[in-house]
Chain A
Amino acid sequence: MATIVSYTARPRRTLQGLLLLFAVAIGVTAYALVGLGRFEEVPADLPVVAIGALVLAAALQVVVSLRAPYADPVILPLVVLLNMIGIAVISSVDSANLLYSDQETSVATRQMIWAVVGVILCVTVLALLRDHRWLRRYTWTFAAAGGILLLMPLVPGLGAERNGSRIWISIAGNSFQPAELAKIAFAVFFAGYLVSRRDTLALAGPKVLGVRLPRWSDFGPILVAWGFAMAVLVFETDLGTSLMFFGLFVAMLYVATDRLSWLIIGAVMFLPPAVFAATQMGHVRRRLTCWLDPLASENFDACGQVNAGLFGLANGGITGAGLGTGRPDVVPFAESDYIFTSMAEELGLVGAFAVLLLYLLLVQRALRAAVGISDGFGTLLAAGLGFVMALQVFVVVGGVTRVIPLTGLTLPFLAAGGSSLVCNWIIAGILVRLSDAARRPAARQLQGDLPAPGRRDAEVPA
């Protein structure tokens, strides 16, 4: 599509500043309401949280103004808001644990510390990564890094198993989900690899029944990606992570080649492992049962977490129980895997829709950057990062609301968990950088000068 973009590029930094203030105001209010709802008093650390949030927002505002002045003004406010809603809900889980079961947990505090680390990394990305095309030079480095990260949990003594899945590594008592970091590495690798190969992948091959099939020799990369996904599935026994990587690859392959056959081939290739997991792996089989009929009396106890989540959703209803007045303490992993139901219980359908719309908007901004950006690598990277975020939200929220079986992924920015939060902040930094490239007037100018439409995708020599 060669639409001529007619608007003049405007930085909109003031708008971003106001939106950031707005996001911080909502987040701080939510945090205060949790304390009021649970203990009828404002949390003692509210001033610290408010000032901290303002400082971080100011840091983001400054670095964007200096380093990415044309960046999309909506991305960072969305991310800040999601992160702060997440912290409020996690603090609700903490306070419920304290009030109802005398358990002192401080997940919210840890999440705040990770948020600080995340923002620092995001700022670092924006400060150091002046041009996203720099990433393309290290395509194969990222491939190697991604592969190593992905397979790290399998290293004896390093990997750790939780809930039947081996997707964690444990270093000196700190656990980390390397798949989150691997996600970024693979998105960069796929973008770099596909952009250089997409012509052969897109055009060559026999045509059968109106669908152009790829050449056998082009099957190599998809087989490798499939092999990795299988390795994750079989050895780390996690369907969610496996689905996420394979989905990322297939989606980016489709965007690069515009060939429907790749989508079909991808879906067909993922079927056997899914069936294998469903029938051969105990914990996946149990999740399948809990997906189909968790409330049946014979399944009820085994599906306690699913049911507790569903009861939480019902308790929330349309307007919600109110912040700090839900009962997340009765749901296992209410602050991480089940953060969505904890949030939906307290904020209701209204809040759940709002959060889903925040995600949808964030994904839309990523795709918008993909459309506006002038090089294929940037387009693919933005599209991949946007799609994988949408897929992740779908897999997690769909899992707890019984659209699909439950898997072990985390909700970006919302769920408690340092590795996930930090990696998603890095992604936010990359997206801001990409959106800056998409909206930069120089790029527009260049595009306007080009005589023929359809050349927007042309690569700028790196």
Chain B
Amino acid sequence: MNRPLRHVWLVISVLFALLFASTTYFQVIAQGRLNADGRNARAIYNEFGRHRGPIVVDGEAVASSSESDDTYGYQRSYDPGSLYAHATGYYSVVYGFSGIENALNDTLSGEADALFYQRISDILSGEQGQGATVELTLDSGAQRAAAEAMGDRKGAVVALDPETGAILAMVSTPSYDPNELASHSSSEVQQAWSELNADEDSPLTNRAISGDLYPPGSSFKLVVAASALETGEYTPDTVIPGPGTYTLPNTSSVMNNHAGGNQEACGPNDESTLMSALEQSCNTSFALLANELGEDELSATAEEFGFGQDLSIPMSVTPSTMGSDLNSAQLASTGIGQYDTRVTPMQMAMVAAGAANDGVVMQPQLVQEVRTNDLSTITALSPREQGQPMSASNAALLRQMMVGVVEDGTGTAAAIDGVEVGGKTGTAEWGEDRAAHSWFVGYADAGDQQVAVAVVVEEGGYGSTTAAPVAQDVMEAVVGG
């Protein structure tokens, strides 16, 4: 009976080979697909069952996890609730994650490749693994000042350290309380979520880096001025035409020299110096200048400032644009930051930072440091150049003109005693019968500490009266004053 016994053993071997194969298939080959399946309760439990690392600002945890008594294991909480909401993002069992919670999810959960040795040592030492700590570059003083200055108004504030690109403040108003979305009660989360989404002011949108983008208005004149200086044919003292009105080429549209229908010329004989044109924010001067420079020259400078570039801070920043294939009428409008020009406040802060940092634009970054729970540093902020739109000497000339704006021009409301402050206001038209968006883009230099800011207040009217005081508060919080 040995021959059939051998056959029986053969059959059993085949059956078991099938089992080995099927087990391998589901545990190895199909593993990724099954774990990523949205209907997989275990993946959610695993995600939320980890001791997630905190997000820290100025040594204080603004997002942290504590053990919870329910099926998930840990509860994420945010303190203070809404101040850092757009930086930290939310961490929801129902709607996923956003902000740093999303961009650095692997790091916070401890699953990142860089944390491999940490995980091994946790396993060997038998410690309960904990995700890494993420310290942000934000300055709590600047962040608070920005949020308080904005108050109930809609808009955004970005403050950068021009030398390193570190983001010192990033505020988008209105904000929301991420604790509401981090609740483990699905019904509460769904309720909060639908309320936030139904809100016309879209509080979930981070206006500083994404959303619908804004026309920059006159604040874009900084880019035009930088481009002009870079040609070598212009200095702040170069006299350029600035008539009271300008009929756009090949159209019947008439551009007024100033907002609100003011048709006063930029100076005697319908002309002024470049510096004076920037101080007074003359529209016709910059419309004509843009056409003198041409689209290629202007867009080359804009690109060096970061326009059209993919940025991640590590959240991705919507690229800003000045449009393309522009005819001379459109280019004239672009010269004063209208037509197709659309920017993020982050981008405009980079423009000011470029001027303040001797013409070099640094990549904006939100993460100061990543540490393991035993305090060894995994990564630390290393400044990276984004581009160089102008030479150091031209940057000095641009700063000179920006200081002129704050001392003698439209930006006086941003001045800080004893500190060099330069900037540019903007009043961006964006729709029929709607109040203009109010801008201030500038920098403050207290010698040892610098800061570049961009402020936009939606439908705030004149930049000189609405946005400049906000910028002043934020800059003051950083450089003192």
| Chain A residues near B (Cβ < 8 Å) | 1, 40, 100-101, 251, 254-258, 295, 300, 307-308, 310-318, 327, 330, 344, 348-349, 352-353, 356, 359-360, 363-364, 367, 370-371, 376, 379-380, 383, 386-387, 390-391, 393-394, 397-398, 401-403, 457
> Contact check: which of A330, A379, A402 meets B1 at CB < 8 Å?
A379
A residues within 8 A CB of B42?
311-312, 315, 327, 330
Q: Knowing A1-B3, A310-B34, A312-B42 are in contact, say whether A360-B16 is a contact too (CB < 8 A).
A: yes
For residue A308, give the distance in angstroms from its CB to the closest CB of chain B: 8
Cβ–Cβ contact B27 & A348, under 8 A:
yes
* A257, A311, A316, A317 interface centre (most CB from chain B within 10 Å): A311
Nearest B residue to A3 via CB reads: B2
In angstroms, Cα B27 to Cα A349, docked, is 6
Q: Whole-angstrom distance between the alpha carbons of A386 and B15 in the complex?
A: 14
Instruction: Verify B18–A376 contact, CB threshold 8 A.
Output: no
Instruction: Check A401–B26 contact: CB distance below 8 A.
Output: yes
Could you pull out 24 A-B pairs where Cβ atoms are within 8 angstroms?
Answer: A100-B71, A254-B4, A255-B4, A258-B3, A307-B39, A311-B34, A311-B42, A312-B42, A314-B33, A327-B42, A344-B27, A356-B20, A359-B16, A360-B12, A360-B16, A367-B8, A379-B5, A380-B1, A393-B16, A394-B18, A394-B19, A398-B15, A398-B18, A401-B22
Q: How far is the CB of B70 from chain A (nearest CB, A)?
A: 8
Q: Is B41 engaged at the interface, CB distance under 8 Å to the other chain?
A: yes
B18→A251 contact, CB < 8 A: no
Q: CB-CB contacts of B21-46 with A at 8 A, as 1s and 0s?
A: 01111111011011101011111011
> What's the nearest-Cβ distance from chain A to residue B136, in Å?
32
Contacts A380-B1, A397-B22 aside, 7 further interface pairs with beta carbons under 8 A come to A255-B1, A258-B3, A313-B23, A314-B33, A314-B34, A349-B24, A402-B22
Cross-chain contact A352 with B30 (CB below 8 angstroms): no
With A318-B27, A390-B12, A403-B19 as given contacts, are A367 and B41 in contact (CB-CB < 8 Å)?
Answer: no
B95: CB under 8 A from chain A? Answer: no
Do A401 and B23 touch (CB < 8 A)?
A: yes
Write the chain B residue with the least CB distance to A454: B2
A364 nearest in chain B by CB position: B9
Tell me whether B22 and A398 are in contact (CB under 8 A).
yes
Contacting pair B37 A344 (CB below 8 A): no
Closest B residue to A341 using CB positions: B26
Is the pair A315, B46 in contact by a Cβ cutoff of 8 Å?
yes
Q: Select which of A251, A311, A376, A394 is within 8 A of B41 by beta carbon.
A: A311
Q: Is the CB of A255 within 8 A of B34?
A: no
A314-B26 contact given A100-B71, A363-B12, A398-B19, CB 8 Å threshold = yes
- Complex Cα distance, B336 from A311, in Å, reads 58
Is B7's beta carbon under 8 Å from chain A?
A: yes
Question: In the complex, are the beta carbons of B19 and A393 less than 8 A apart?
Answer: yes
Chain A residues with CB below 8 A from B41, complex form: 308, 311, 327, 330
Please report the number of residue pairs spanning A and B whose Cβ atoms sit closer than 8 angstroms. Answer: 130
Q: For chain B, give the interface size range.
A: 35 or more
Which of chain B's residues has its CB closest to A328's CB? B42
Q: Please, how many angstroms separate the alpha-carbon atoms of A101 and B4 in the complex?
A: 51
Q: Which of A251, A349, A403 contacts B28 (CB 8 A)?
A: A349
What is the CA–CA distance of A394 and B23 in the complex, to the nearest angstrom? 12
CB distance from B46 to the nearest CB of A (A): 7
The answer on a CB contact under 8 Å between A457 and B8 is no
Q: Is the CB of B35 within 8 A of A314?
A: yes
Contact A394–B16 (Cβ < 8 Å): yes
Q: Are B26 and A457 in contact (CB under 8 A)?
A: no
Give Cα A393 to B13, complex, Å. 12
- Cα(A256)–Cα(B5), bound, Å: 9
Within 8 A of A (CB), among B119-168: 128
Please measure, in the bound complex, the distance between the C-alpha atom of A397 and the C-alpha atom of B42, giving whole angstroms.
21
A341 to chain B, nearest CB (A): 9
A-B pairs, top 6 by smallest CB distance, nearest first, are: A314-B34, A401-B22, A1-B2, A313-B26, A349-B27, A394-B15
A397 close to B19 (CB less than 8 A): yes
Contact A403 B9 (CB under 8 A): no
User: By the criterion CB–CB under 8 Å, are B23 and A397 in contact?
Assistant: yes
Smallest beta-carbon distance B378→chain A, Å? 24
CA distance A181 to B274 in the complex (A): 101
Beyond A356-B23, A393-B19, A394-B18, whether A254 also contacts B34 by CB under 8 A is: no
Chain B contacts for A379, CB-based, 8 A: 1, 5
Shortest Cβ distance from B31 into A: residue: A314
Interface positions of B from 353 to 384, Cβ below 8 Å from A: none
Q: Are A383 and B40 in contact (CB under 8 A)?
A: no
**Residues of A contacting B37 in the complex (Cβ-Cβ under 8 angstroms):** 295, 311
Does A313 lie within 8 Å of B27, measured CB to CB? yes
Give the docked Cα–Cα distance between A386 and B9 (Å).
10
Q: Which residues of A contact B31 (CB under 8 A)?
A: 313-314, 317
With a CB–CB cut-off of 8 A, which chain B residues contact A353? 20, 23
Closest B residue by C-beta to A301: B39
Q: Which residues of A contact B1 (CB under 8 A)?
A: 255-256, 258, 370, 376, 379-380, 383, 457
CB-defined contacts of A312 to chain B, threshold 8 Å:
42
The answer to whether A318 touches B28 (Cβ under 8 A) is yes
Q: Which residue on chain A has the smallest CB distance to residue B70? A: A100
Residue among A312, A315, A330 with the most chain B CB within 10 A?
Answer: A315
CA distance A403 to B15 in the complex (A): 10
Q: What distance in Å separates the Cβ of A455 from its nearest Cβ neighbour in chain B?
A: 12
Q: Which residues of B contact A344 (CB under 8 A)?
A: 23, 27
Nearest to A315 among chain B residues (CB) is B42
Q: Which of B25-83 contact A (CB under 8 A)?
A: 25-28, 30-31, 33-35, 37, 39-43, 45-46, 71
A353: min CB distance to chain B, Å: 7
What is the bound-complex CA distance between A386 and B43, given in angstroms?
39
Cβ of A146 to closest chain B Cβ, rounded Å: 21
